[in-house]
Amino acid sequence: DTGVSQDPRHKITKRGQNVTFRCDPISEHNRLYWYRQTLGQGPEFLTYFQNEAQLEKSRLLSDRFSAERPKGSFSTLEIQRTEQGDSAMYLCASSPGKKTNYGYTFGSGTRLTVV
Amino acid sequence: GNSVTQMEGPVTLSEEAFLTINCTYTATGYPSLFWYVQYPGEGLQLLLKATKADDKGSNKGFEATYRKETTSFHLEKGSVQVSDSAVYFCALSDRRNAGNMLTFGGGTRLMVKP
């Protein structure tokens, strides 16, 4: 297992289009997190899953955003009707569960540019 | 709520200089503290952590001590290298929150010149 994988690395889309990103966590990790990082800022929490259950969503996650983790393994993040303000790096992270005091493992991110 | 404040960058140093990046936090609970590093074009990597007061986290020559009395977790390195050039993020995790989400500071860019 080589870590957390995210696909694609880069996505350019026109305003109004839908986009979907994928994250494959470390296989034995049952927690999966999505964060958003805008240019020059620190990452901000969006949502997280414990296995297949989505347990918390940030107020940053508008109705246009939806995340799934259907079998408790990989996750997808979809943005509908993209806006220029959605341009950011979307980071996925995973952790083994309760012992997240020890930090997560992050993927390399998907950079979204909405034109 | 929880928040993390870092010194603004960029911080520009010559190779072998001493590094300090300041980080202070506000938390209603008793958080765990982290430093992450982000190299160009890559995701965040955990650099070091501390889970209770007076703990010192260390890795790759970097150190930070959890100071509850000053709510600080400053990052230090005695002699920086060009390869340390990156963006450094201070973060906290509130253990009262079952999800253990991370709250990040804004990041500090470090540039080390040969």
Q: Mind listing the pLDDT tens digit for each residue in A1-43?
A: 579 999 999 999 999 999 999 999 998 888 999 999 998 899 9
Q: How many residues does chain A have?
A: 115
At B16 the pLDDT is 97
Quick check: A43 and B44 CB within 8 A?
yes
Asked if residue A60 has pLDDT above 90, the reply is no
The Cα–Cα gap between B76 and B58 comes to: 9
> For all residues of chain A together, what is the average pLDDT?
91
Asked if residue A98 has pLDDT above 80, the reply is no
At A61 the pLDDT is 86
- A45 reaches B (C-beta below 8 A): yes
Contact B71, B103 (CB under 8 A): no
Asked if residue A102 has pLDDT above 80, the reply is no
At A78 the pLDDT is 97
Quick check: B93 and A48 CB within 8 A?
no
Question: Residue B45, exposed/middle/buried by CB under 10 A (0-12, 13-18, 19+)?
Answer: middle
Quick check: B43 and A40 CB within 8 A?
no
Contact B103, B91 (CB under 8 A): yes
Per residue in B67-108, pLDDT (tens digit) is: 999 999 999 999 999 999 999 999 999 877 777 889 999 999
Least confident of A17-31, A50-64, B34-48, B90-104: B90-104
Type and span of the H or E element at A32: strand A31-37
Mean pLDDT over residues B41-50, rounded?
Answer: 90
- A5 reaches B (C-beta below 8 A): no
At A85 the pLDDT is 95
The Cα–Cα gap between B71 and B31 comes to: 10
- Chain B residue numbers with beta carbons less than 8 Å from the beta carbon of A42 are 4, 89, 91, 104-107
At B96 the pLDDT is 74
At B9 the pLDDT is 86
